Structure 1
Amino acid sequence: MKKDSRVDTLQVNCLSHQTFEYAILLLMLLLLSSYSKAETDTLKWVFTGNTSLSSDFYSINSTPENSINRRRPTDLHRLLYNSNLKYGIFELPITIVLSSNQTNFTTQAPGTQTFMQYLQNPMNIIRIAPRIGDLNLQFGSFVPRYSELSTGNSNVFGLGAEYTPDNLAISVFYGISQRGVESDTTRGIRGAYERRSLTARLHYGSKRTGLIGINVVAAEDIESSVKSPSAELFPERGFLTTINFIVPFTERIFLEGEVGGSLFTRNTRDKEIEDNGLEFLSVLTPIKTSTRADGAGRLKFGIEYDKWGIAANALYVGDGYVPMGYRFFMSDRLELTLMPKLRLFDGTIFLSGSIGTRINNLSNTKSQTSEQLLASLNSAIRFTDYLSLNAGYSNFGFRNRTDNDTLKIDVISTSFNLSPNLILRGQKLIHSITLSFAFDDYKDYNTFTTAINENSTRSITGVHVINFTEMPLTTDLTLMQLTNDIKPFELSIYSIIAGVAYRFFDNTLNPSLKISYNNTSYAGAGSDNSIGFRAKVAYIYNKSLTFTAEASSNQYSYGELRSNASFGETFVRLMVASRF
């Protein structure tokens, strides 16, 4: 008999809603046990926090009229609130971030939002996390960060709990990791199903003594969340579990790793496979024709001393491995990396770097396999207390293995930067002078025509900051020149920025002003010019209350490339902030 796949809840038997409720109940009992150990004779209430409210206003005028699109919303209002109520071992931290302008990051923005969609929007954060001793309850927007192959950057709106006595860590979180968006072909909106996820982990140990942990992630798209889905929109379901570990051989030498497996279904509407030989996996998730099982693993061997260290990393991700707790995770790859570091002469010289390779299409399911060379070197040298130097180099190479010359790709991208810094201290003035030299080169070797397509960028930037010791005055000057050479064109940018800041009335009134000029020229096509002004003033009313006002204006005139068009834009920000 076929099972009905049209359900609005996770079809993961071992991690059902009932299991989640039992886990919360168990953690509540642990909370009461932890609370009974508290000493209550010297307890007192402590309430701290900060909040701010800001409003942005933007306008633009262009010639010809409406020829330039606006770069900001007309108005934008934000509320930020953080507080913590503490009483002995009890804490109640609250975080609220609300924005009047709503958008989406990984799916198209919906038309009209419901109240719950507004709360679930990643632009907003509502987070309440009461803690009693080792137990932490979580309500609102959280990012479960368990391990590198399970979950780590996907925001989830829901509820959960975490219990962390000594070296033990037990966590569980359930909620919505993706909002539902209706499809609208007239507006080019593909739509997205609401995705509900359940994450859990059990870790024991520490990096110093050794650690072992198991992580579980289950997620499913809810078909009923989209009334009229587009033809190319499919509901997905995923389940994975990983085991991560740390083995310290000595205080300086360790081995760290993780291994995991996933079951991912690309379309839950597909027919369920019976007698597939995978009945033991069907207790975790129904096996469909589009379900695929695959694995991943990572290993790191490290040696860390005060003056030197080295780490060797290996990462393998199968083509069918899908960690639904990560956004934009690259699968079907093998990476090998070596990362040394060295401190010399009592730490006055620090060198670090990495070299490695990345190979994709290990499963040969794509038309081509590519190899990438990754290399970088960074250095920081402190000659004296007044003179230092930072330098960096990176190389990125990309090459595929196809035998067809017309499809062959051979690319090398290199980058080099050098930045000396000089500080001169006098009786009345302190000078800070920083120079930055940067060179970026991109070469595409056409193996069919033997031609080389090259894109080179060179820039030099100088920053001079003067602090007056006998008065609260600071001035700064920035000069920048950039050349971008794309055969047969050349782009040059010259920029100058001058600023001044002063502090009045015992540092309670702090105004500042910046003026900028930019010239952008194109070889044989004239040049663009822009002049900008930015004024800002902050008034500290008392230790708890600050008012800030900021206004900027930018006047831009195009050259021959846009028929001498021009535009002017104005931006104003008002903000009040309080600490308590």
Structure 2
Amino acid sequence: MKWLLSIAILLSSCFLFGQSEWKLRGSAEFQSDLYSFKSNSSELNGRRPDALNRFIFNSHLSNGKGWEIPAFLILPFNQTTTLYPQQANSNYLYDPANIIRISPRYKWMQLHLGRIFPQFSELTIGNIGVFGYHVSLRPGKFVLEYASGVSQQEILPDSTLNFFGLYKRKISALKLGVGDEYANFFHLNVSRSEDVVGNLTRLESSPTPEQGLTIAPSFGFKLFKKAHWKNEVALGIYTRNSLDEDSFNDDIKIPEDLIVINSTSTVDFAASSALRIEGKTQSLALRAKYIGPGFRALGYPFLQSDRMDFTINPSFRWWDNKVIFNGSYGYRINNLLETKAVKTTQALVSTNLFAQINSQFSLGLSFSNFGIESDLSSDSLKIRNISNTISINPSYLFNTKKWQYQISAGYSINAFEEYNAVSASTQTQANTSGQLMWFGGAKGSDFSYDLGLTYFKNNHQMAGIEMFGYQLGAGYKFLERKLRINASVNPLISNRVGFSKDNRLGAKIKADYRLDKIKTRLKLSVSRNNYEYGSVRAGVYFTEWLYRISLAKTF
């Protein structure tokens, strides 16, 4: 409630500074989902909660004199974390299912409050959500930023779920420097994280409270007008168990307010470098990254250690952007120092080509490769997995005197190769998928329709499956095009290796009504999904109903 009160006071204060000069625009929406599930088998359960209601609010308040106050809220009424669907002795505002954010700004000063995602640097903090605050001061070329908050709330153990609990994790970060990240700059980035023991009782199976401290200077400069070079070097201290009483090194003295150093601590470094060259119709980016085996930044919880990456990203745009090419070619060495496992190498390739042949016909082509391989040639620990995917996506638009049509298609092949260390043999399998869509409508008419076919096949010897899907949809606009109603049916047939076919029939109807005078929109939809198993679960079926309602107003 303190956060909501602070927000209300802030907004009220803004209005007091010359109410007539302030302009407010945005939208408010209420959404409700109702779900029912029925099956003749007790082994099957519904895939959604019975009811889910949420309120979404997005606004922007400004006065044209440097003040801006954007606000964004997503508030579920009866759903909190996925682990504990009902609220139980927890602060509603802190729940990760909610997004509450307000970001008042005056010229070069900005404050973010609520659920924030601070982006400081590539090796300190950048992809983790925090409930707290973020202050950003950027007068001229100077930069001063500070963020602090909670990235993870404490959750007590639950033996019925075989869950051992989570510590409350606090994260703070500081950025101090001069210059623009896209020109010449030097920044010092510091991040600190700490697990608070709190009420979580320590057991042998419980997680250990972690701490981390990362110091990372970053710098960059323009080599010439169209080229920019950016670098970062990070020193990281990570403590796996802050409660451990064995010392790390008595000669190392670091205040415990920063981080606890003990026998579970590691010190290591990481570095990244990126060179980008921009042209009128082409660009090239070269990137390299090294992560030491003992480096861990808790601001990037999924950052893989003990690796080195090299990446090349070319891009071309030809003939007034009618032909666009984007590529990514990377090489990665995992377990570089072999501290935890055998060294492996990865090839990461992605290529996309789009061509607008003429005003009617376009074509998209893509290729991707993912391969991982160990250096061992004849060992039970040998690893060799390779995946290749090729896709083609044409689209054609054509007109007659009365009708307009569009036909689009997609076809892809995914080939997978895996070395089986048990049988010392290589196994292969492939997925093939395709789709064909037809959209049509009469010119000047309120009627439209669509037809679709989908196909998927996996040729795995033991678990292969083949699926055929169909789609038929139609829509019409009523009441001077203020009301639009759409309906569709989607049959699907699945054939599994060694079993008779499964059948699914889906149907959906939805309505969208605009009340232009009061800037309000009402949406309703009802969908039904009926699934009947073949011999894989003989005689078993289930039926799902999903009702959705949405009421939105813009201002």
Give the alignment partner of residue 173 of structure 1, picking from 126, 147, 163: 147
Alignment of structure 1 residues 353-364 onto 2, 5 Å? 353-364=327-338
Closer, same or farther in 2 for the Cα pair 1:320/1:275, shift >3 Å? closer
Residue 111 of structure 2 contacts residue 136 of structure 2 at CA under 8 Å; is this kept in 1? yes
Deviations along 1:437-459, one digit per CA (max 9) or x if unpaired, are 10001111336645332221101
Deviates more, 1:222-231 or 1:190-199: 222-231
- The size of the alignment, in residue pairs, is 537
Q: How far apart, in 2, do the equivalents of 1:227 and 1:283 lie? A: 23
1:365 is the counterpart of 2:342: no
Match of 1:339 in 2: 313
User: What letter corresponds to residue 50 of structure 1 in structure 2?
Assistant: S
Per the alignment, do residues 443 and 101 of structure 1 end up closer, same or farther by CA in structure 2, a change over 3 Å counting?
farther
Structure 1 residues 201 and 109, CA, compared in 2 at 3 Å: closer, same or farther?
Answer: farther
Task: State which drifts further: 546-555 or 230-239.
Answer: 230-239
Q: How does 1:439-458 map to 2 (within 5 A)?
A: 439-446=413-420, 449-458=423-432
Structure 1: give runs of 5+ residues left out of the alignment.
1-39
Give the distance between the partners of 1:173 and 1:130, measured in 2 at CA: 15
Cα distance in 2 for partners of 1:82, 1:111 equals: 26
The structural deviation recorded for 1:494 is 0.4
Partner of 2:88: 113
**What per-residue deviation string (whole Å, max 9, x for no partner) do you get for residues 277-319 of structure 1?**
3226878423211111111111112221122222211110012
Partner of 2:46: 70
Q: Distance in 1 between matches of 2:536 and 2:508?
A: 28
Relative to structure 1, the CA distance from residue 386 to residue 166 in structure 2 (aligned partners, 3 Å threshold; closer, same or farther) is farther
3-state SS of 1:224 partner: coil
**What is the TM-score when the length of structure 2 is the normalising length?**
0.92
Does residue 576 (structure 1) correspond to residue 551 (structure 2)? The answer is: yes
Aligned partner of 1:100: which letter? F
Matches within 5 A, 1:59-138: 59-64=36-41, 66-87=42-63, 88-104=65-81, 108-109=83-84, 112-116=87-91, 118-138=92-112
- Calculate the TM-score normalised by the size of structure 1: 0.88
Counterparts of 1:230 and 1:77 in 2: how far apart (Å)? 40
Which residue matches 1:33?
none
1:266 CA drift (Å):
0.5
Following superposition, the deviation at residue 152 of structure 1 comes to 1.0
% identical equivalent positions:
27
Distance of aligned partners of 1:517 and 1:111 in 2 relative to their CA distance in 1, 3 Å threshold: closer
Q: Which residue number corresponds to residue 56 of structure 1?
A: 33
* Corresponding residue number in structure 1 for 2:486: 512
Give the letter for the 2:445 counterpart.
M
Give 2:283's match in structure 1, choosing from 288, 309, 324: 309
1:556 equivalent to 2:531? Answer yes
Instruction: Give a deviation string over 1:58-108, Cα, whole Å, max 9, x none.
Output: 1111123x3321111111111111222223322232222111354547xx5
Q: How does 1:40-51 map to 2 (within 5 A)?
A: 44-51=21-28
Structure 2 CA distance, aligned partners of 1:517 and 1:173? Answer: 51
Moved more, 150-159 or 343-352: 343-352
Alpha-carbon separation, structure 1, partners of 2:442 and 2:306: 58
Deviation at 1:227, TM superposition (A): 4.2
SS of the counterpart of 1:561?
helix
Q: 1:381 is paired with a residue of what secondary structure? A: strand
Moved more, 276-285 or 344-353: 276-285
Conserved 8 A contact 2:248-2:263: no
**1:413-469 deviation digits (Å, cap 9, x = unpaired):** 110100011111233222111110100011113366453322211011011111322
Counterpart CA distance in 2 for 1:306 and 1:425 is 35
Cα 1:42/1:203, change in 2 over 3 Å = farther
Residue 160 (structure 1) shift? 3.1
* Pairwise CA distance, 1:492: 0.9
Q: CA deviation at 1:351?
A: 1.8
Matched to 1:469, the amino acid is: K
Residues 103, 112 of structure 2: 8 Å contact kept: yes
Q: Equivalent residue for 1:466?
A: 440
Measure, in 2, the Cα distance between the counterparts of 1:184 and 1:568.
Answer: 32
Q: CA RMSD in A?
A: 2.2
Structure 2 unmatched ranges of 5 or more: 1-16
Answer yes or no: is 1:400 the counterpart of 2:374.
yes
